[in-house]
Amino acid sequence: MRLAIGVVRPCNPPLSKRMAIEHSATNHVAKHGAKRLRLTNSCNSLASDSGKCRTATRISKLGDRWKEYQGIKNWEGLLDPLDDDLRSEILRYGQFAEAAYRCFDFDTSSQTYARSRFPRNSMLAQCGLGESGYRVTKNLRATCGVQLPRWVNDKASSWISANSNWIGYVAVCNDKDEIARLGRRDVVIAFRGTATCLEWIENLRATLTCLPHDMGHQTREPMVESGFLSMYTSSTANCPSLRDMVKEEIAKISNMYSDEPLSVTITGHSLGAALATLTAYDLTATCDPRLLVTVVSFGGPRVGNGSFRCQLEKSGTRILRIVNSDDLITKMPGFVVDSHDVANKRDVHVGGLPSWLQKRVEDTQWVYADVGKELRLSSSHSPYLSNGNLATCHDLKTYLHLVNGFVSSTCPFRATARRVLSSTQSKEQVYA
């Protein structure tokens, strides 16, 4: 990736203001002591030396307001300007999503292709998150429901037709200091993005389909993308569905820690963001209502229609979508409705279409709705990114870089965030 310096001038607070902030922080540490938050910054998802990411520490008072940071108030007052503790949490969960990429074996010639490269007990340590305070309790697999013609299965390599693949993991915070810092015991469910041929085919199945009745709704109105739902609910004789694996594990964890505050945070990038949305909807609709379920997603495509969005809101599902305005994937699939009133039986207006065409589109299964609360960023705001191509704008490490630098809508990038490109190692890092 080329570095273009000077595209945008980063915001730089006046010296007097910076000194006042530093002085205030120093006094707080001296008087109250500091809880240290370790942030492992973004590295290339496929880098072999992923455990060498540099870290940054900062004072955190997260435990006192953890429900707000998990979206109990829909992140009001925390996004613009971006609250520093929330920024740290977004970056932290981004690292769990990135670990899902690092674990996955992309080598089609390997005997472990499409599986996790690391044993469960050492998985996070191998990904540079050994000091995160979390322990992986479950490997997750997703099954593609696409059935290839027999002649394709006969002639194609096994890696082309592999339909049940490692997609992510469940991890539980079991470190006492981290639990105290967070204010509760946190469970992370992390999903990677698209990696296999059949997953790409599932992504292209973009028409809307009805949710199954056992996902908490008895009407045909809530609809989601066919391919995403297929990957979430499909199973084989030897592999249960992703849905069953997640629900079984969360039920077990919920029972184990029923006497203490517990949160479930689901994170993912791209396809993983879509699966995170479906998972959160399913858990809030069908599992223990005491669970606080939150999604922190990066670069996710659209998932469902307006009725699906309405059901998400009614169920209390909290979704924070990190969106790069220059990322085409976040504008797909289908058309998006203009109004949140669609689920309240008001007229649907499809953005960007002439009125004579709107009715025809509304009758199809291509009208989607964006969900949750959005943190909108842009690659063009970073002085360290050139006009990137589709892959660059969609890359998870680009998202983490933009989160790291974002200040507010009036100051979209801070001077203290910088991108460092190592020419000797094929990795990029973001420092604060």
Alpha carbon 240 to its chain's center: 23
* Alpha carbons 375 and 368: distance in angstroms, whole number: 19
Sequential DSSP letters for 330-345: GG-SSEEBS-GGGGGT
Catalytic site includes residue 409: no
- The Cα–Cα gap between 250 and 265 comes to 11
DSSP 8-class letter at 388: -
- Catalytic annotation present for 269: no
Closest to 282 measured CA to CA, from 252, 247, 313, 248: 247
- Match 């469902």 to its residue by tokens: 304
| Catalytic hit among 116, 234, 270, 380 | 270
pLDDT, residue 432, reads 37
Class of domain 15-25+36-431: alpha beta
246 residue type, one letter: V
pLDDT reported for residue 259: 94
What is the pLDDT, as a whole number, of residue 346? 42
431: amino acid identity, one letter? Y
Task: State how far the Cα of 56 lies from the Cα of 64, in Å rounded to an integer.
Answer: 22
The answer to whether residues 301 and 396 touch, using CB atoms and an 8 Å cutoff, is no
Where is 250: in which H helix or E strand? Answer: helix 242-256
Domain-wise residue ranges, the chain: 15-25+36-431
The single-letter DSSP state of residue 420 is E
Q: Where are the beta strands (DSSP E) in 69-222?
A: 134-143, 164-173, 185-191, 208-210
Tens place of pLDDT per residue across the chain (432 aa): 333 333 344 565 554 444 443 444 444 434 444 333 333 343 333 333 333 333 333 445 789 999 999 999 999 999 999 999 999 999 999 999 999 999 999 998 898 899 999 999 999 999 999 999 999 999 999 999 877 666 555 555 555 656 789 999 999 999 999 999 999 999 999 999 999 988 999 999 988 999 988 886 666 689 999 999 999 999 999 999 999 999 999 999 999 999 999 999 999 999 999 999 999 999 998 888 889 999 999 999 999 998 999 999 998 899 999 999 999 999 999 777 554 444 444 444 455 556 656 555 555 667 899 999 999 999 999 988 876 788 999 999 999 999 999 999 999 998 777 554 333 333 444 333
Q: Choose among 231, 192, 216, 9: nearest CA to 98.
A: 192
pLDDT at 217: 60
As a whole number of angstroms, the distance between CA 262 and CA 107 comes to: 37
Buried/exposed code over 102-123 (b: 16+ C-beta within 10 A; e: otherwise): bbbbeeeeeeebbbbbbeeeeb
Report how far Cα 82 is from the mean position of its chain's Cα atoms. Answer: 18
Do strands 164-173 and 185-191 pair parallel, antiparallel, or not at all (unpaired)? antiparallel
**C-alpha dist (Å) from residue 122 to 134, 173, 262:** 11, 15, 24
User: Would you call 28 a catalytic residue per the annotation?
Assistant: no
Alpha carbon distance 31, 186 (integer Å): 29
Q: What is the per-residue pLDDT for 50?
A: 36
Is residue 14 packed enough to be buried (19+ CB in 10 Å), middle (13-18) or exposed (0-12)? exposed
**Rounded to whole angstroms, how far apart are CA atoms 62 and 68?**
9
Distance between CA atoms of residues 41 and 395, nearest Å: 14
**Residue 249: which of 188, 165, 175 has the closest Cα?**
188
User: Nearest Cα to 21, choosing from 68, 77, 86, 84?
Assistant: 84
Residue 406, φ and ψ in degrees, nearest 5? -70, 135
Query: Which listed residue (327, 379, 380, 382) is catalytic?
Result: 327
On whether the CB atoms of residues 114 and 195 are closer than 8 A, the answer is: yes
- So what's the pLDDT on residue 330? 95
Distance between CA atoms of residues 181 and 233, nearest Å: 36
Out of 269, 381, 394, 401, which one is annotated catalytic?
Answer: 394
How far is 398 from 375, CA to CA, in rounded Å? 14
Q: How far apart are the first and last CA of the chain?
A: 20
